Structure 1
Amino acid sequence: MIELKAEQPEDRWEVEALYDLCFAPGREALSSYRLREAVPPVNGLSQVARDEGGILAGAIRFWPVRIGDAAWPALLLGPVAVHPTHQGEGLGGALIRDSLAKAAERGWSRVLLVGDAPYYVRFGFTPLCGVDMPPPTNPDRVLGLELVPESWANVRGQVLRWSGSQTPG
């Protein structure tokens, strides 16, 4: 039995160790990490998954960002990781679906990520046109999801670091 719950401050180092295990060295050099610097993850959306022994099995984080001159608010999903001993069990999908539902309940209207379209399309993500992640990012990997219909319509511009309170939009 796996339990999903909100990430707590005391989970931070264990989650970072999981990300180190699951991702290539140098992951923090990616452009999405520049958007996360000095910005806390969104409370209640970043989650951990623990097995019956309390061992960390997976984690997902969300960060607020803004897009373009109009400063449209959005959530940046990632990273999401599942410990190798739990991969293939659907845990990553459970983390994504559960946290996206919570984001919608809290009034967020749009989510973006940098990832593999064949994996994320099953959750409703599609390629975003006109939304540019800081380089170096392959534009074909910039994907978006509407939590509110048409919330990506007319949203254009560079993805920028968040400033201000974590107000959904």
Structure 2
Amino acid sequence: MNTPRHPTIRPETPDDADVIEAVTFSAFRGAPHTSHTEQHIVRALREAGALAVSLVAECDGELVGHVAASPVTLSDGTPEWYGLGPVSVLPAWQGRGIGSALVQACLARLRERGARGCELVGEPGYYQRFGFRSLPGLILPDVPPKYFMALCWTNERPQARVAFHSAFAATG
């Protein structure tokens, strides 16, 4: 398999939904530290109209990755914050920069729409390269601060508990 230097990143279309679900399932099938519900979360976000950003990566005409972003609620009422994820890349295509390209494109779209910040739960060693850090004052209950990180694009630093969209509770 030859990977193009830059995958084609584009918004999802209605025809992509089933392939996105399969890619997401496959990407997380062998992953540690997951409840293996990511494909259900993406579907529930889509059904709720809560996919603020939903991008796919194509390589040689094959859909090989997906990233989602959805609104989050901050207890202090700060608006325009989003949660990044899930980020999915087919196992055979991982390690080739596709996930990074998806994350960068998603963050750019969020900034274009006026987002104040973005949060995620993930591996610090991966997401810190994009500027994500644990921010004092932002708390996601039941998640160790090391794995709950944020990017803030304003000088305002919210002091709040964070709640992801209810679709993140989807299990099937």
108-117 or 69-78, which moves further after superposition? 69-78
TM-score (norm 1): 0.79
1:139 aligns to 2:145 (yes or no): yes
Structure 1 gap segments, 5+ residues each: 164-169
Partner of residue 167, structure 1: none
Structure 1 residue corresponding to 2:10, chosen from 5, 10, 15: 5
Once residues 108 and 90 of structure 1 are traced to their aligned partners in structure 2, the CA distance between those partners, rounded to angstroms, is 24
Aligned pairs, number: 153
> Equivalences for 1:90-129 in 2 at 5 Å?
90-129=97-136
Structure 2 gap segments, 5+ residues each: 167-172
Q: Residue type matched to 2:96 in 1?
A: E
Kept after mapping to 2: 8 A contact 1:111/1:145? yes
1:28 aligns to 2:37 (yes or no): yes
Displacement, 1:72?
3.2
Tell me the percent identity.
33
Displacement, 1:55?
1.4
Q: Residue type matched to 1:142 in 2?
A: F
Kept after mapping to 2: 8 A contact 1:111/1:144? yes
Residues 9/62 of structure 1: CA separation in 2 closer, same or farther (3 Å cut): same
Residues 158/71 of structure 1: CA separation in 2 closer, same or farther (3 Å cut): same
Residues 20/139 of structure 1: CA separation in 2 closer, same or farther (3 Å cut): same
Displacement, 1:67?
0.5
